[in-house]
Structure 1
Amino acid sequence: MAAIALCAQPLFGITVPVWPIGIVCVALGAWNLLARRAAGDTGGWHLLLELLIDLGAWTTVLYLTGGATNPLISLLLPLIAVGAAVLPAPHTWLLSVLAVAAYTWLWNHHLPLGLDDPAQAVHWHLAGMWATFALSTAVVTWYVSRMTRAMRARDRALALAREQRLRNERIVAMANLAAGAAHEMGTPLATLKLLVDGLRSGADPESATEDLALMGQQIEHCRAILSRLTEAAGRRRPEFARRIAIGPWLDTLVASLRAQRPELSVRRSLPDVDVDIVADASLDQALRNLINNAATAAPRCAVEVSTAQRGAMLSIAIADRGPGIPDTVLASINAPQTRAHLPSEGLGIGLMLSASAIEQLGGSLEYTARRDGGTIATVTLPIAAPHDSLATALRTGH
């Protein structure tokens, strides 16, 4: 704008109202300085306001310098291009409509240019078109190059963040497995301690033989737990997870639990149509923890395990006949933000590890009270679609 006011007369012999254009330039510069100082608000409306003020300033200058006959009117296009890059779609359309309206208004409303040599009008018009094209090219190239650099920097930052998240997920998964294994080994180790105390107190030979056999079973149980942990070590989550049929998997899990705890009683029912899910060792560990917790809550009653399909999700309900959980504690258990602050004894660590493992696979864990006494732990998991690959199932949770 300043160049138009200062150079039009001496270089091109075109008379323009210098003072009005100068006032517009000063007003626009003052506004830009105020906007920079108040740069805290960078929302869509603030950016739209800045571009609308620029549009108004250019419209005023073009009105003073020939309106639609001024070839510099095409400089409104870079303004719209900038708006399209930084504004939401509704704001961009508003800016575009107002720019077209300004162009239309300037068609019949403007001050004519004063030329010292009217014969040179066509020449200067073509020269102005060239200058407009060159300036528009420079502005668009600079802005698009700047945006491209910013997008590339953002993509690099996102790639680094994604790699960091994957590493963190692997560390968390391994920590869950290790802590879960330690939690599960508590039962056989406690049994071994009781057996050792019994042998030290001088048990009879027949009882000692039975105790030694039971000790061997518990040692094998501990070895199996450590073997599962070793199997998971060093593997990435997508490779370690596998697509499984829920029926055979639960059969195997319950049989393994019964072998480890002969006194454990589990009643299970399956849906009429079997479905597949994506599971890994951490989910296996989570279900073991939940069933063991239910058995501990009501040692003399059977743990009831049932499954049901609800749309694209599978729910696994683990119900016990224990004393139940107080409503205040139940609310804390079901709230992820307070679950980590539960006491470590009782449900605490097992619940936290189980919920974390289930959530990593796109599922959820919720506890509810039974009407006739006891508690139901409901695990909800996404069902693997028939033709989905394993990687897709892990990525989308289906």
Structure 2
Amino acid sequence: MRQLIALRWLAVIGQYATIQLVFSILGVPLPIVAMFAIVGGLVALNISSMIALRRGWRVGERELLIALLLDVAALTGLLYFAGGATNPFVWLFLLQVVLAAVLLRVLSACIVVSVTSAAFILLAVVHYPLMLPQHITVGLFGLYVLGSLISFALIAGLLLLFITRINYNLRSRDARLAAMRQQAAEEDHIVRMGLLASGAAHELGTPLASLSVIINDWGRMRQLTDNPALAEELEEMRVAVERCKAIVSGILMSAGDPRGGDIAITTAGAFFADALEEWRRRHGSDSLRFDNRLSTDPRIVSDSTLKQIVWNILDNGREASGNTVSVILNRKDELLTLSVIDDGPGFDRAILDNLGKPYQSTKGRRGGGLGLFLVVNAMRKMGGWVDARNDPSAGAIVTLVWPLDMLEWTED
């Protein structure tokens, strides 16, 4: 419909210029009031169509057909007052036929063909004859050829403009379909990873539980606890086993298989402070700097998936830099943002261009790049998104963005 509106504006300009040229300069007598009334009707149609589109008017087959038929009616009225079928601009009907063939289904296109054919026959029988003034030296045949040339150039130009725009729209649609297919493939990939992770969790659950029991029993044996070195190693083993159990649960969450566990109503500041502090305890007190810039602290609904998303980004930043990771929590209008900044080498351009696709990694190991892939897809399912860029000074900045209405808790 927008393309039709643009073409109609061009047609209005051309019609107005042609009427003025023929009437004012060439001096051909025309019913100027009636012709300008038709042109004014097209202007009103365009304005009303633009207003309707801005208000969310849904355009379908019927609306496009009516719009084309109104254009045909307006062209028929103008040609009726300008010589009818003897006017070379009668071939502008072909433009309406081409538009119908491109935009409409076969039945609707046949309706346009039938209406334009009937209009042509009607104009051949009934029309307002053109009376050429005596001072026009060009013969009727020469004037007809000149008009045909102008008509041909006009039709060719408008078709070029319209078909070019339609092809652009088709390419854009194909790109969107390709992106949707890619998204579907990625979600299928996540489902398969979730199944594998679920199987691994079941397989690892029993040995991890056994190890946890054994380590706890060893922790009560005096011959081991009295030895400081052995006691320290036992504590490290216990922490490692608990970490393995948390990793298995985190994989299930990140792979798109959230269990709904640890769901709680809290505030954004408190949730992220607790999640970051828990991560800091595992990696050392100097592993993280946290800057809470929230002016107001909204209440949110949190779960383990949200925590695992944050941890995955922190793990990537820590692994990339090996130094302290900076985290900034902020709110911009109705968006909650968490920026993770490291001082590592930054992202390669290929990774930034393919953000969110699996196996995009500079770590050089098999299966690398899944962490960011899972984060991007988990964020997408939560209604948010991930923005990654390189810091001009050094390192990389990964920003997690959530619309507050997707996280915020309300009484409703």
Coarse TM-score class (shorter-chain normalised): 0.3 to 0.5
Instruction: Return the TM-score normalized by structure 1.
Output: 0.45
> Which of structures 1 and 2 has the bigger CA Rg?
1
Task: Give the TM-score of the pair, scaled to structure 2.
Answer: 0.44
If asked which structure has higher relative contact order (CA below 8 Å, sep 6+), I would say 1
